[in-house]
Amino acid sequence: MDQDTPIWIFTKTGEYTVRSGYHLCNQLWNHLSLEQEGSKSLTEDAKKSCSGIWKLNLPPKIKTFWWRILHDGLPVAENLRKRNIKIDNACLMCGEYPESQYHLLEHIVKVIHDAIRDLCQWEEANTCSNQHNTENERQKEEPSHIQQTLPSGAQYYCQVDASWKNDKEVAGVGWSLHSMQGNQLLQGSTSIRATNTPREAETEALRIAVTQVRALAFDKVHFISDCKTIVDELAQYITGATTRKVRNTESISMIQDIAAAAKDNGFSFSYMPRNRLWLVDELAKKARCNSQNYVITWF
């Protein structure tokens, strides 16, 4: 048997010629060019991006970083291996994928998203803290404002308010009892049947607060309301002024009940704007919105 001999399959005779080798190189080059045709457009886009990077108002280090990314010039593991550097190409951050530029950018995006989330949480916490501090400051200032308006014989004060929307829906009532030093002792809130007017709801709120405080054996309590007409009518009843000055309203019977309880227990009444009664205003609104049953809380 004859011995095997090498042949050149790209010629008919099986012998290598320079011409056949040249044609083979051209064919391989054309094939490689077709495979990389898609990447040529990306290269053109990259060139445009590169020229645009230097026009941006950014620190030089940031510009250089993105310029190197567009030129695939970051020293990630895969690029180092292309330069015949023997190195493990696994990602050092997650260890799950090869460390390429694209994979590295995914980690950067995740870090940015996490940083934005942390910033939002930090700002939200600061906002809540500032609101809490503001509320505490308001609570500290409130007793001093109220104490200046209290009669000398009062031992406690009770803030009262109502929340009214219309004559078809339930209203809300809120009251809060405090010591003369401003310490909150107890509070109550409830929804009540629909009333014809806001004034009627305010009168019912005051009647409920007076009835409850009297039932708990508190005396010499000063009640504070944001409805001046009710306070004026009560003052006329308590001081014995002529009833001709008292308005004949739908809440007249409740006014009379409140005045009677006040005479027997040393209760007094005064007016204060609603912005000073924010605590009971919130209690009343919550009770109305939730159609809440009567709740009393001790502190």
User: In the chain, where are the structural domains located?
Assistant: 72-146, 149-298
Please tell me which residue, 66 or 242, carries the higher pLDDT value: 66
196 Cβ contact list (under 8 Å, min separation 6): 167, 250
Where is pLDDT greater, at 274 or 4? 274
Residue 244 has a pLDDT of 45
pLDDT at 14: 80
pLDDT tens for 83-95 read 788 888 787 778 7
Confidence of residue 241 (pLDDT cuts 50, 70, 90): low
When pLDDT is cut at 50, 70 and 90, the band that residue 36 belongs to is low
Assign 188 a pLDDT band (cuts: 50, 70, 90): very high
pLDDT band at 250 (very low <50, low <70, confident <90, very high): low
Q: Which of 140-144, 205-209, 243-247 has the highest mean pLDDT?
A: 205-209
Identify the band that residue 35 occupies on the pLDDT scale cut at 50, 70 and 90.
low
CA–CA separation, 276 vs 202, rounded Å?
A: 16
Residue 162 scores a pLDDT above 90? yes
Cβ(296)–Cβ(211) below 8 Å: no
pLDDT of residue 280: 93
Nearest to 233 by CA among 247, 220, 216: 247
Using only C-alpha atoms, the chain has a radius of gyration, in whole angstroms, of: 42
> pLDDT band at 163, cuts 50/70/90?
very high
d(CA 34, CA 32): 5
User: What percent of the chain clears pLDDT 90, i.e. is strictly above it?
Assistant: 30
Q: Are 202 and 229 in contact (CB under 8 A)?
A: no
Range of weakest confidence among 7-11, 175-179, 295-299: 7-11
Supply the CATH classification number for the domain 149-298.
3.30.420.10
Are the CB atoms for 156 and 219 separated by under 8 Å? no
Q: 38 or 4: which carries more pLDDT confidence?
A: 4
CA pair distance 124, 11, nearest whole angstrom: 78
Task: Give 273's contacts (C-beta < 8 A, 6+ positions apart).
Answer: 226
Q: Which residue has the higher pLDDT, 52 or 39?
A: 52
**Which among 232, 217, 227 is positioned nearest to 265, based on CA atoms?**
217
Per-residue model confidence (pLDDT) at position 216:
93
Average pLDDT, the chain: 82
- 199 has a pLDDT exceeding 60: yes
Q: Is the pLDDT of residue 164 over 90?
A: yes
Per-residue confidence band for 182, with pLDDT thresholds at 50, 70 and 90: confident
Amino acid at the residue 140: K
Q: What are phi and psi of 25, to 5 degrees?
A: -65, -40
Query: Nearest-CA neighbor of 219 among 285, 156, 296?
Result: 156
The 3-class secondary structure across the chain, one letter per residue, is: CCCCCCCCCCCCCCCCCHHHHHHHHHHHHHHHHHHCHHHHHHHHHHHHHHHHHCCCCCCHHHHHHHHHHHCCCCCCHHHHHHCCCCCCCECCCCCCCECCHHHHHHHHHHHHHHHHHHHHHHHHHHHHHHHHHHHHHHHHHHHHHHHCCCCCCCCEEEEEEEECCCCCCCEEEEEEEEECCCCEEEEEEEEECCCCCHHHHHHHHHHHHHHHHHHCCCCCEEEEECCHHHHHHHHHHHHCCCHHHCCCCCCHHHHHHHHHHHHHHCCEEEECCHHHCHHHHHHHHHHHHCCCCCEEEEC
Query: Are 110 and 88 within 8 A, CB to CB?
Result: no
Q: Which stretch, 39-43, 52-56, 253-257, has highest mean pLDDT?
A: 253-257
Overall average pLDDT of the 233-257 stretch: 71
Provide the pLDDT for residue 137: 60
Whether 5 has a pLDDT exceeding 90, the answer reads: no
